[in-house]
Amino acid sequence: MDDGQHVMEAGAAHGITDGAEFALYNGNEFPSGGRELCTMVASKPGPFSTTMLVLSASSPVSLIQPTFALQTRAGKDEDLRIHVDEKLAGLFVELAREMQRRNPTQQGIILVSKDRAEIDIALENDLVVFDSLNPLAVEHGLTRMPFCFKPAVDDVYPIICAAAHYHWHLRRTSDRNTLQEDVQIELTRVKEVKDAYADDSLIIQPYGPNLKRDGGIDLVIETDTMYGIKIINTTGEPLYPSLFFFNNSEWSISKCINTQTNRY
């Protein structure tokens, strides 16, 4: 409780969205299947905390510390918006049955008109194709996933689930844009030079201008050139970056780390 409100120590930075539902458990009973205290719904998540509203309870809610919240349903704005070719209507009747059996905490899928969709699913030469309608991807020629699939639920459904997961994380952002204002990113060419303070040692040193322009980087990689990313934190708080690569060609997300050198 904080100033008369229920507050959960997780927010938008952890993927919490407005309308997400949680079952609350006594800390001594979770996760061993103890009695559910009540159901709460997230209301206007902040970056690192969320105000919770009681949705249902069998008796007046009296929380015991610590109390654990287990997400049971995805929130608003998490659904993937797709447009489907009329030729695939039969397939999507089967997909609808499959989606009804899915985990409710996962992102959902809704059918919309093509002008509102993030993905267009069509049938060409008896195979299912996926076209991206994301303007940021289309602008750079990333319009179609370079794979085709048989019009079968077992082949198409995993792709749609992966796309929902990808697009949910792709469009996640903070309403307050705190980090966007107080954290700057620079990309420059770098080279190895001799360390002036140690014999036979090399250090990496940036040279040339910042390659980031107008909030983005449009770069043709030069052969035998190294690049370095510099993250400048002006918040006054310790931050620990994790870098991920979003591949719009196949809707995958991978962590950018060299496991051999353990350097980002």
Residues 154, 107, 63, 30, Cα dihedral to 10°: 30
Secondary structure of residue 166 in the 3-state scheme: helix
Question: Average per-residue pLDDT in the chain?
Answer: 81
- Please report the sign of the dihedral spanned by the C-alpha atoms of residue 54, residue 60, residue 65, residue 67: negative
pLDDT at 104: 57
Q: Are 242 and 216 in contact (CB under 8 A)?
A: no
* Every domain of the chain and the residues it spans: 6-73, 80-170, 183-255
Cα–chain center distance at 200: 44
pLDDT at 46: 83
Q: Is the model more confident about 119 or about 35? A: 119
Q: Is the model more confident about 103 or about 96? A: 96
Sheet holding 119-124, edge to edge: 109-111, 80-84, 119-124, 127-132
pLDDT at 189: 94
Q: Is the model more confident about 238 or about 29? A: 238
Q: To which H or E segment does residue 39 belong?
A: strand 36-43
Query: Residue 81 pLDDT > 90, yes or no?
Result: no
As a whole number of Å, the CA-based R_g of the chain is: 23
Query: Residue 259 pLDDT > 60, yes or no?
Result: no
Label residue 30 by pLDDT band (50, 70, 90): low
- Please report the sign of the dihedral spanned by the C-alpha atoms of residue 204, residue 208, residue 213, residue 219: negative
Whose CA is closest to 116, among 146, 158, 144, 80?
80
Which residues is 184 bridged to in the sheet?
A: 232
Label residue 57 by pLDDT band (50, 70, 90): low
Query: Residue 58 pLDDT > 60, yes or no?
Result: no
Label residue 207 by pLDDT band (50, 70, 90): very high
Q: Are 245 and 254 in contact (CB under 8 A)?
A: yes
